[in-house]
Structure 1
Amino acid sequence: MHPMVKPALRRGWRDLSTVQFGMTPAHAMTLGPMDTATGSFLELLNGTRGLELLREEGRRMDLPDGHVDGLVRGLARAGLLDDARGGGPAADALRKKKDVLDRLRPDLASLSLTTSEPGDALRVMAARRSLRVQVRGAGRVGAVVAALLSGAGVGEVDVRDGGCVEPWDVAPGGLPAEAVGDRRDEAARRAVRRAAPDRPPRRGPGTAPEDGDQGYSLVVLAPRDDVAVHAPAASAAETLMASGTPHLYAGVVEGTGMVGPLVLPGETGCAGCLHESRTDRDPTWPRLVAQWRSGRQRQVRPCDLALATTVAGLAAAHALAFLDGRVPSSASARWEVSAPGLHWHARPVWGHPACPCGAGEKGMGEHTSEDGDPHETMAVQRPSERLRRKADAERLAGTWRAHV
């Protein structure tokens, strides 16, 4: 192990004996009282020395026997320590690709804030390279989502869509202006390759994976049709539900951006549950949806660039959280933001007993609504990782204390 205090956390001294790691409430932690020698020793925890060399340095600084090991163990338990050589064989292979790793360093630093064990950040980043994701829809939202996932290190990102690129599909980070007139799916795949830090092998036309929904860690449904965004058809995800493939909805409809739900088949509410719940609240809902779907409108649908990019960014963030092993707040919920107020809020998507998906019997997470109405804004309550870190930090040594 080559211990390293996480460089992503800025360090500052609150007084002569108390050091604060991090600036923001989500990740900040203070430790103290800390003597001058231990404070100076922290500078040596930069990943360039192994434990044996650190012990020698500690003896030169007259630190008590066992103090270095106790400090390293305590910082590791508090989630403040990384391992410059940890993460396993896949992480070692990634370290050898310096150009790729340099592209991913900001993402890696961010991961270090949400992982606790030394070496976990690079292990998670290396694991992304083995994942396969499919994005269905290559408009202003879908193409950007695909490029973001590729740029964040996901190994294979496929895009599925039909038709040719129209001028209004063009978006920074997504389909470029020179792609107008090209096949939409091929243009999106080129954008994915351009964004990738380590470019995957190029596929020829018509050689996209033909394995149905098998093998994908996640499918992102980002339809260009605004009705499909607002009222996703359960039939569009039938094969995903049958294969147990997790899928995330995202898109823009009439000045409202939507991210979620993230559907874990049989565990969280799906498109069918969403439809049944809406029908319970509004019996005319099926009639309205049928009219919206049957109407053929040729005009360009509202999807302003800034809102579409915002939705794509949040959708990619939720997708990455899931791919990295977390359960984001879009599980059992749909996040919405509308112009011009731009206030994000979450609406629950409960499992419905009339839906054959089975989520209505299981449920997932703890949900609280403001007034008991399931249509109202809700928050997903999840255990706080920071509470665990606080308890671990308090065990650092003696009278050290931690504040989150």
Structure 2
Amino acid sequence: MHPVVKPALRRGWRDLNTVQFGMTPAHAVTLAPMDTATGSFLELLNGTRGLPLLREEARRMDLPDGHADLMVERLARSGLLDDARGGGPAADTLRGSKEALDRLRPDLASLSVTTADAGDAIRRLAARRALRVQVRGTGRVGAVLASLLSGAGVGEVDVCDGGQVEPWDVAPGGLPADAVGERRDEAARRSVRRAAPDRPPRRGPGLPAVGAEPGFSLVVLTPRDDVAVHAPAPSAADHLVSSGTPHLYAGVVEATGMVGPLVLPGETGCAGCLDRTRSDRDPAWPRLVTQWRSGRRRQVRACDLALATTVAGLAAAHALAVLDGRLPSSAGSRWEVSLPGLQWHARPVRAHPACPCGAAERDREGRAPEDGAPHETMGGQRSSTAMGRKARAARPAGTWRAHV
């Protein structure tokens, strides 16, 4: 191990004996007591030395025997330590691609803030290169989202859509102006390729997908049709539910952006649950949806460029959380934001007892997680899935966490 104090967290002395790592309340950590000599020793934890050399340096600084090991252990326990050579073979391969790693260094730094174990950040980043995601719908939201996932290091981002690019599909980071008139899927694939840091191997080992459809770890549904955004047809995802493929909804309808729900089949509410719950609350809902779907189609739908880009960015962040083995707040919830107020609201998508997806049955059984731990609230859902267990395991130890 070559320990390095995570450089993404800014360091400052709160007083003569207390060091604070990080600025924001979500991630700031304090260590105390900390004397001046130990503070100087922290400067040596830059990834260039292994533990034997660090022990020698500590002796030269007249630090007590075992102090180097104790400090490394303490920093590791508080989630502040990384390993400059850790992460496994996939991480070593990524380090060998300097151009790709340089492109991804901001993403790596961000992952280091949100992971606890040394070497875990680059392991997760390298694992993305072996994953495949499909984005269905390449309008202003879908095309940008697909490029974001590719740029964040996802190895293969497949896009699925029909028709040709229209002038109103053009968006920075998505479909370019010179693609107007071309096949939509081909133009989107070029944007995805341009965004990729490199060309990683097409397939390979990575973080295991949760019951994924063969080849896809996640499917993101970003329909260009505003009715499909507001009232997603359950039949469009039936095969995803039956195959156990995680899928996420996102889009814009009438100046309102929507991200979610993230559907973990058999675990969280799906489009069928959403449709049945709405019908229970509003008897007119099925009649309205039928009219919306069969009514006269407008040529250009309301889709504000800045709002669409915002939705694409948030949806990409939720998708990456899933791919990294986390459980984002869109699991069983739908985030909505409307112009001009731009206040985000989370609306729960609860499992419906009449839906064949099986999520309600699991809720009724009230099963405890396999590891025997009590249910824990994460984004409004009980984290009893494998993703939930990974998310809990990835948290830094709370002993050193400071509220600032």
Structure 1 position 31, deviation (Å):
1.1
Preserved CA contact (<8 Å) 2:86 2:119: yes
d(CA) in 2 for partners of 1:403, 1:237: 43
Q: CA deviation digits over 1:185-215, x for unaligned, max 9?
A: 010000000000013689xxxxxxxxx9422
Q: Which residue of 1 aligns with 2:360?
A: 360
Structure 2's unaligned 5+ residue stretches are 203-211, 367-374, 384-390
Question: In the alignment, what sits opposite 1:207?
Answer: none
Residues 147-171 of structure 1: per-residue CA shift (max 9 Å, x gap) = 0000000000000000000000000
**Other-structure match for 2:96:** 96
**Count of residues in Structure 1 that have an aligned counterpart in Structure 2:** 377
1:390 paired residue among 390, 395, 398: 398
- For 1:244, the equivalent position in structure 2 comes to 244
Write the deviation string for residues 305-339 of structure 1: whole angstroms up to 9, x where unpaired: 00000000000000000100001000000000001
Distance 2:164 2:243 in 1: 30
Residue pair 1:2, 1:51 contacting (<8 A) in 2 also = yes
TM-superposed deviation, 1:239 = 1.1
Specify the alignment match of 1:195 in structure 2: 195
User: What one-letter code is carried by the residue in structure 2 that aligns with 1:74?
Assistant: R
Deviations 1:274-296 (A, max 9, x none): 00000010011000000000013
State yes or no: 1:232 paired with 2:232: yes
Shift of residue 388 of structure 1? 5.3
Amino acid of the structure 1 residue aligned with 2:94 = L
Q: C-alpha separation between the residues in 1 aligned to 2:48 and 2:214?
A: 43
2:18 is the alignment partner of 1:18: yes
Does 1:317 find its partner at 2:325?
no
Q: What does residue range 61-76 of structure 1 map to in structure 2 within 5 Å?
A: 61-76=61-76
Conserved? CA contact 1:193–1:200, under 8 Å: no
C-alpha contact (below 8 Å) 1:346/1:379 kept by paired residues:
no
Counterpart of 1:389, as a letter, is: A
* Pair 228,24 (structure 1): closer, same or farther in 2 beyond 3 Å: same
Distance change >3 Å, CA 387–CA 235, structure 1 → 2: closer
User: Residue in 1 aligned with 2:51?
Assistant: 51
Alignment of 1:294-305 (within 5 A): 294-305=294-305
- Listed as ranges, the matches of 1:265-280 within 5 Å are 265-280=265-280
Instruction: Provide the C-alpha distance between the structure 1 equivalents of 2:114 and 2:376, rounded to a whole number of angstroms.
Output: 21
Q: 8 Å contact 2:128–2:324 — kept in the other structure?
A: yes
Aligned to 2:326: 326
Contact 2:115 2:394 in 1 (8 A): no
Give the whole-Å Cα distance in 1 for the aligned partners of 2:344 and 2:269.
Answer: 20
Q: Describe the shift of the 1:191–1:76 C-alpha distance in structure 2 as closer, same or farther (beyond 3 A).
A: same
In structure 1, C-alpha distance between the alignment counterparts of 2:192 and 2:395, rounded to whole Å:
38
**Percent identity, aligned pairs only?**
77
Structure 1 regions of 5+ residues with no counterpart? 203-211, 369-377, 394-401
SS of alignment partner, residue 157 of structure 1: strand
Between the aligned partners of 1:359 and 1:221, the Cα distance in structure 2 is 20
Residue 298 of structure 1 deviates from its aligned partner by 3.1
Q: Distance in 2 between matches of 1:403 and 1:381?
A: 26
Q: Give 1:361 shift.
A: 1.6
Indicate whether 1:110 and 2:110 are aligned: yes
- Measured after TM superposition, the shift of residue 33 of structure 1 is 1.7
Task: Measure the CA separation in 2 of the matches of 1:367 and 1:125.
Answer: 26
- Which residue number in structure 1 is paired with residue 148 of structure 2? 148
Shift of 1:299: 2.5
CA gap of 1:367–1:354, structure 2 versus 1, over 3 A, is: farther
- Give the Cα separation in 2 of the matches to 1:366 and 1:82: 27
Structure 1 CA distance for aligned equivalents of residues 117 and 81 of structure 2: 8
Q: Deviations over 1:131-187 (max 9, x none)?
A: 000000000000011000000000000000000000000000000000000000010
Conservation of the 8 A alpha-carbon contact between 1:27 and 1:386: no
Q: Could you tell me how far apart the structure 2 residues matched to 1:65 and 1:290 are?
A: 76
- Rounded to whole Å, the distance in 2 between the matches of 1:129 and 1:201 is 8
Aligned position for 2:207: none
Which position in structure 1 is the counterpart of 2:260? 260
Please give the alpha-carbon distance, in whole angstroms, between the structure 2 residues aligned to 1:122 and 1:199: 18
Counterpart-to-counterpart distance in 2, 1:20 and 1:167: 51
| In structure 1, C-alpha distance between the alignment counterparts of 2:306 and 2:357, rounded to whole Å | 35
Question: What one-letter code is carried by the residue in structure 2 that aligns with 1:64?
Answer: P
The whole-number CA distance in structure 1 between the counterparts of 2:60 and 2:240 is 61
Structure 2 distance, partners of 1:340, 1:80, is 40
2:175 alignment counterpart: 175
One-letter amino acid of the counterpart of residue 238, structure 1: D
- 1:81 maps to a residue whose letter is L
- Residue 5 (1) aligns with residue 5 (2): yes
Within the alignment, does 1:403 sit opposite 2:402 as a pair? Answer: yes
- Give the Cα–Cα distance (whole angstroms) in 2 for the partners of residues 274 and 386 of structure 1: 31
Cα drift, residue 30 of structure 1: 1.2
In the other structure, the counterpart of 2:27 is: 27
> Hey, what's the Cα distance between the residues in 2 that align with 1:39 and 1:265?
49
Change in 2 beyond 3 A, CA 1:385/1:339: farther
Q: Tell me the SS of whatever aligns to 1:318.
A: helix
Matched position secondary structure for 1:224: coil
C-alpha displacement at 1:19, in angstroms? 0.8
Contact 2:265 2:359 in 1 (8 A): yes
Distance 2:256 2:72 in 1: 48
Give the root-mean-square deviation of aligned CA atoms: 2.0
TM-score, length basis structure 1: 0.90
Alpha-carbon spacing, 1:201–1:110, altered in 2? closer, same or farther (3 Å): closer
**In structure 2, C-alpha distance between the alignment counterparts of 1:214 and 1:296, rounded to whole Å:** 37
Structure 1 residue 380, shift from structure 2 partner: 5.6
Displacement of 1:10 after TM fit?
0.2
1:381 deviates by 7.8
- Measure, in 1, the Cα distance between the counterparts of 2:336 and 2:393: 26
How many Å separate the matches in 2 of 1:271 and 1:381?
19
Which amino acid counterpart does residue 227 of structure 1 have in structure 2? V
